[in-house]
């Protein structure tokens, strides 16, 4: 059985008690790692700068989602209201342009800190000083400066290594070659002289990029137009101020766009009014001068009739002229690169053209906002440019069609005027001349009155302009830090404290191929455990233990001795020749055979211990006996069975040593003489115990197997490899060893998974 199969069988028969004991044995590992993990977690929480989450809510007036956004009266007065797409406003709020405006307004490129032992604490409110700079050099951005107040007029300036750069007066212009040019102002007079303040300069570009990434804008509900703005800051007050300023910048930008359109319209109307006023003044003077010079007080009935017809026709003709001028203004606008809506569109009567121009204005505004957040060549920006080009082409076609119609209408009205003029010629000269002058006056008056009306409408719209957003929730911060969260950090420390030792133990178990428990042996081999022998204490130097004492080892050997008697009873008094072997050397065969033999001798039984490990004999040295003559001498025929028997210091225990180590142990054991030896000792002694070489290395034990009654296979705790289970299963299957039993030796009960 390989290690993997063994682990699979172990998982199938899970024993919680064994599992728990396996970890409990290493409790000191868990205690140490838990202590270290919680210490690191405590230090991390103690010195890590906590971050608070600051949030605010903003309502965007998006007509596409059904949000009309407030007062209907103001909405009617606002001629420049444009629909907004809430998804676009999310990107606008996160744009670097807005971030730079926030940084400039709040002077965030200069940060102030109280110097601490472990970490510095940023100051936002109640700043004792303010630093304004004109220019900062590269080193000034990389290294902070330190300011140490001396009194209410003076302070000392130090570099990052606390080297003094000089003493200066507040508000004095300071020019440091490595840092730059700046001024320091005192904000309050009760500053402590011992208070050291660190000033850090930051580049606006990098700060704007960082701020735009840290500001999160999320749509709370897909069916609503409420945006949630959030930012994580170490100082809640700073986070609130940043979000509040961002909302102000956004609202100001929206009003600025609207007011720009209204301003352009007012400028256009004003220029037209100047020209019309001048013309109207001139024609009125002409009327007055003509009446005075000609002495005209009233016109005839017929003259009045023609005059009314001419007036009506001229009024229509003036409207046509105005429309033509407006269309010419639209054409000039299309030819220009302006981004605002053409002001003359307010006097366009065609609803289709008005819709086209309004749509063009929205596309231009959308292009301007989008270009703030994306790079040139962006697919979305290119789509907007295509829409603008298509809209302009549609406007040109519409303007051309309208101009053709207006020119035709103007020709008809001019023809009517010619007919009326021919009729008027029949009227007396004075009346005819007066009608001509009066007609010019009426035309100019109509244009003047219309321009005055449009100017008032535009002024009202300018005055009533409101933002397309509304603050729902003002900026507010979380009551506790969102990073780091102490509960999560300590939970992580707990998991690490338990996880690391558990992982090490599991890895140790996975890669450990040594036998750990009795249950492993029984499950893998299905062979009985004849007995258990504990680990010999370190203070026990002699391999032969005191079997008369009450130690655990002595009791265990007495238990083995008792179990041997049960074997003899099962075999009807037979079975006194025992063989001891194992998978490899160092598993305790010699130690167990010596002490078991001594335990049997203590009962008054005659016991002979044969040292048959002809390669690495140990029993002779354990008993303090020499091995000049022994088994090897007998096997080659130099001595007989009786001559090699030696008495030992243990009463009734006799030793047959291995003798000189032969070059061919297996061949000697196979020459047939060993059978005669064992037969002789079986009759002469009560018990015959044979210490043999490891069966996993040599065949000596197999050669001796036919002459023995019981074979004991030793497995040593935390020494024997699990591959020995495969050897045992093969021995059981082939019945290569008689009455095979297992002795579990050298058990370290402190490390065993079962105790």
715 within 8 A of 682, measured Cβ to Cβ: no
Mean pLDDT of the region 722-746: 86
Around Cβ 116, how many Cβ atoms within 10 Å? 10
Global model pTM greater than 0.85: no
Closest CA to 104 of 96, 112, 113: 96
Q: Could you read off the pLDDT of 418-433 as tens digits, one per residue?
A: 777 776 665 566 666 6
Mean pLDDT of the region 79-88: 63
Mean pLDDT of the region 517-544: 83
Mean pLDDT of the region 261-286: 75
Q: How confident is the model at residue 13 (pLDDT cuts 50, 70, 90)?
A: low
Q: Is 175 helix (H, G, I), strand (E, B) or coil?
A: strand
Listed as own residue / partner, the contacts of 270-279 with beta carbons closer than 8 Å and 24 or more positions apart are 270/455, 272/451, 273/448, 273/451, 273/452, 273/455, 276/444, 276/447, 276/448, 276/451, 277/448, 279/444
254 within 8 A of 467, measured Cβ to Cβ: yes
Q: Which residue's structure tokens are 């180590």?
A: 661
Kindly tell me if the per-residue pLDDT of 502 is higher than 70. yes
Which pLDDT score is estimated for 361?
74
Task: Pick the more confident residue, 193 or 49.
Answer: 49
Which pLDDT score is estimated for 178?
83
Q: Could you read off the pLDDT of 353-406 as tens digits, one per residue?
A: 777 777 777 777 777 777 777 777 778 778 888 888 888 888 888 888 888 888
Kindly tell me if the per-residue pLDDT of 461 is higher than 70. no
Mean pLDDT of the region 90-99: 89
- CA–CA–CA angle 319, 320, 323 (5° rounding): 85
Which pLDDT score is estimated for 664?
86
Kindly tell me if the per-residue pLDDT of 219 is higher than 70. yes
CB within 8 Å of 694: residues ≥ 6 apart = 581, 582, 583, 584, 585, 587, 589, 701
Q: Is 750 helix (H, G, I), strand (E, B) or coil?
A: coil
Mean pLDDT of the region 159-187: 89
660 within 8 A of 632, measured Cβ to Cβ: yes
Element housing 182 (H / E): strand 180-186
177 within 8 A of 122, measured Cβ to Cβ: no
- Pure H helices in 336-378: 351-373
Around Cβ 262, how many Cβ atoms within 10 Å? 21
Task: Determine phi and psi for 192, rounding to 5 degrees.
Answer: -80, 140
Which pLDDT score is estimated for 578?
93
Q: Is 650 helix (H, G, I), strand (E, B) or coil?
A: coil
Sheet holding 173-176, edge to edge: 129-136, 180-186, 173-176
Mean pLDDT of the region 13-19: 61
Which pLDDT score is estimated for 425?
63
Share of the chain residues as helix, strand and coil, in percent rounded to the nearest 5? 55, 15, 30
Between CA 325 and CA 528 the distance in angstroms is 115
Element housing 205 (H / E): helix 204-214
Which pLDDT score is estimated for 207?
92
Q: How far apart are the first and last CA of the chain?
A: 25
Mean pLDDT of the region 542-564: 85
User: Taking all residues of the chain, what is their mean pLDDT, rounded to a whole number?
Assistant: 81
Task: Pick the more confident residue, 199 or 298.
Answer: 199
Between CA 343 and CA 261 the distance in angstroms is 7
Kindly tell me if the per-residue pLDDT of 70 is higher than 50. no
| DSSP strand pairing (154-158 vs 164-169) | antiparallel
Kindly tell me if the per-residue pLDDT of 558 is higher than 70. yes
* Range picked from 14-18, 355-359, 429-433, 549-553 for highest mean pLDDT: 549-553
Kindly tell me if the per-residue pLDDT of 661 is higher than 80. yes
Mean pLDDT of the region 229-239: 92
Mean pLDDT of the region 571-588: 82
Question: What dihedral angle (degrees, nearest 10) is formed by the CA atoms of 15, 17, 23, 24?
Answer: -170
For residue 402, give both structure tokens. 């309208």
Q: What percent of the chain has pLDDT over 90?
A: 23
Kindly tell me if the per-residue pLDDT of 161 is higher than 60. yes
Between CA 519 and CA 14 the distance in angstroms is 12
Which pLDDT score is estimated for 579?
93
Q: Is 483 helix (H, G, I), strand (E, B) or coil?
A: strand
Q: What percent of the chain has pLDDT over 70?
A: 84
Which pLDDT score is estimated for 34?
93
Which pLDDT score is estimated for 202?
93
Between CA 327 and CA 348 the distance in angstroms is 8
Between CA 453 and CA 579 the distance in angstroms is 126
Q: Is 572 helix (H, G, I), strand (E, B) or coil?
A: coil
Per-position b or e across 194-216, b if 16+ CB within 10 A of its CB? eeebbbbbbeeeebbeebbeebe
Altogether, the residues listed in the chain come to a count of: 755
Q: Could you read off the pLDDT of 596-634 as tens digits, one per residue?
A: 999 999 988 999 999 998 888 889 888 888 888 889 999
């Amino acid at each position: 059985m390989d290690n993997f199969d063994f682990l699979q069988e172990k998982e199938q028969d899970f024993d919680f008690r064994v599992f728990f004991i396996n970890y409990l044995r290493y409790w000191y590992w868990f205690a140490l790692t838990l202590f270290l993990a919680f210490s690191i977690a405590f230090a991390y929480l103690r010195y890590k700068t906590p971050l608070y989450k600051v949030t605010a809510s903003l309502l965007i007036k998006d007509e596409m989602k059904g949000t009309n956004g407030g007062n209907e009266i103001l909405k009617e007065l606002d001629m420049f209201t444009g629909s907004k797409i809430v998804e676009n406003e999310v990107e606008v709020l996160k744009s670097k342009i807005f971030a730079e405006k926030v940084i400039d307004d709040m002077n965030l490129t200069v940060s102030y800190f109280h110097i601490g032992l472990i970490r510095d604490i940023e100051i936002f409110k109640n700043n004792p000083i303010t630093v304004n700079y004109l220019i900062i050099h590269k080193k000034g951005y990389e290294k902070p400066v330190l300011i140490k107040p001396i009194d209410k007029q003076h302070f000392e300036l130090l570099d990052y290594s606390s080297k003094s750069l000089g003493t200066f007066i507040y508000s004095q212009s300071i020019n440091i070659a490595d840092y730059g040019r700046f001024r320091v102002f005192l904000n309050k007079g009760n500053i402590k002289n011992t208070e050291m303040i660190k000033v850090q300069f930051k580049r606006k570009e990098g700060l704007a990029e960082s701020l735009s990434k840290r500001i999160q804008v999320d749509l709370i509900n897909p069916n609503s137009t409420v945006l949630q703005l959030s930012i994580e800051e170490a100082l809640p007050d700073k986070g609130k101020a940043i979000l509040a300023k961002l909302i102000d910048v956004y609202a100001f930008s929206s009003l600025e766009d609207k007011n720009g359109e209204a301003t352009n319209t007012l400028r256009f109307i004003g220029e037209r009014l100047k020209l019309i006023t001048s013309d109207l003044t001139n024609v009125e003077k002409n009327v007055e001068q003509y009446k005075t010079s000609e002495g005209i007080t009233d016109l005839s009935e017929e003259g009045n009739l023609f005059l009314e017809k001419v007036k009506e026709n001229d009024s229509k003709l003036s409207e046509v002229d105005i429309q033509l001028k407006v269309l010419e203004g639209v054409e000039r606008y299309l030819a220009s690169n302006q981004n605002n809506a053409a002001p003359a569109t307010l006097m366009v009567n065609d609803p289709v053209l008005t819709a086209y121009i309004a749509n063009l204005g929205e596309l231009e505004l959308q292009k301007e906002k989008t270009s703030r957040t994306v790079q040139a060549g962006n697919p979305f920006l290119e789509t907007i440019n295509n829409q603008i080009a298509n809209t302009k082409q549609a406007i040109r076609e519409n303007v051309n069609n309208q101009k053709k119609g207006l020119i035709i209408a103007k020709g008809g009205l001019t023809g009517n005027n010619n007919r009326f003029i021919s009729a008027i010629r029949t009227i007396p000269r004075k009346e005819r001349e007066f009608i001509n002058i009066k007609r010019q006056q009426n035309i100019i008056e109509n244009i003047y009155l219309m321009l005055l009306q449009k100017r008032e409408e535009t002024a009202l719209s300018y005055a009533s302009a409101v933002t397309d957003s509304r603050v729902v929730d003002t900026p507010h911060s979380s009551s506790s830090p969102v990073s780091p969260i102490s509960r999560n950090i300590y939970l992580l420390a707990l998991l690490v404290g338990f996880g690391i030792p558990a992982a090490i133990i599991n890895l140790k178990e996975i890669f450990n191929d040594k036998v750990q428990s009795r249950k492993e042996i029984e499950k893998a081999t299905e062979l009985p455990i004849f007995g258990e022998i504990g680990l010999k204490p370190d203070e026990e130097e002699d391999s032969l233990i005191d079997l008369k004492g009450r130690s655990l080892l002595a009791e265990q050997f007495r238990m083995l001795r008792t179990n041997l008697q049960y074997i003899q009873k099962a075999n009807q008094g037979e079975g006194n020749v025992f063989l001891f072997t194992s998978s490899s050397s160092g598993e305790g065969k010699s130690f167990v055979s010596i002490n078991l033999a001594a335990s049997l001798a203590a009962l008054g039984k005659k016991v002979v211990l044969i040292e048959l490990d002809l390669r690495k004999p140990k029993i002779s040295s354990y008993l303090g006996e020499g091995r000049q003559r022994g088994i090897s001498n007998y096997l080659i025929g130099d001595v007989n069975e009786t001559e090699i028997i030696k008495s030992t210091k243990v009463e009734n225990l006799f030793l047959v040593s291995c003798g000189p180590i032969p070059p061919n142990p297996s061949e000697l054991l196979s020459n047939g003489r060993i059978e005669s030896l064992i037969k002789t000792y079986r009759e002469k002694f009560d018990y015959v115990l044979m210490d043999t070489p490891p069966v996993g290395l040599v065949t000596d034990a197999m050669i001796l197997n036919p002459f023995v009654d019981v074979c004991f296979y030793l497995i040593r705790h935390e020494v024997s490899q699990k591959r020995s289970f495969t050897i045992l299963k093969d021995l059981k299957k082939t019945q290569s060893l008689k009455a095979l039993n297992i002795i579990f030796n050298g058990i370290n009960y402190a490390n065993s998974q079962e105790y």
